[in-house]
Amino acid sequence: MAGDKISVTFEIQPDAERMLEYAATQYGLPSKDKALRCLLDYLAKDANWNQIFTLIRCTRCKDSSGWKPPE
């Protein structure tokens, strides 16, 4: 276990939870919590924050029901 962890409660959409569960299963992670920590580590170290937070993505607009696993 790398680093101390704290328990945090926040709200996400059901499809986002399915996405985290998929990532955990697909990549052999112990939990969706670990999948989220991997995403946060990527954001902290390698991601382009401006691209992430200024580009509008309509994942749940109109006819979209949110994230779907790749085929």
Q: Which long-range contacts (CB under 8 A, 24 or more apart) does 17-23 make?
A: 18/67, 18/69, 19/67, 19/69, 22/69
| pLDDT at position 6 | 95
Report the candidate in 70, 71, 66, 63 with the shortest Cα–Cα distance to residue 17: 66
Q: Is residue 31 part of a domain?
A: yes
Is 21 domain-assigned? yes
pLDDT in tens, 4-63: 999 999 999 899 999 999 999 999 999 999 999 999 999 999 999 999 889 887 777 766
CB contact burial 35-66 (16+ within 10 A = b; e otherwise): bbeeeeeeeeeeeeeeeeeeeeeeeeeeeeee
- Count the domains in the chain: 1
- Tell me if 22 is assigned to some domain: yes
Predicted local distance difference test score (pLDDT) of residue 1: 57
Q: What is the pLDDT of residue 37?
A: 97
Asked, for residue 44, whether it belongs to a domain, the answer is: yes
Domain of 26 in residue numbering reads as 14-54
36 inside domain: yes
24: in domain: yes
Is residue 27 domain-resident?
A: yes
pLDDT score, position 31 = 97
Q: What is the pLDDT of residue 62?
A: 64
Q: What is the pLDDT at residue 71? A: 80
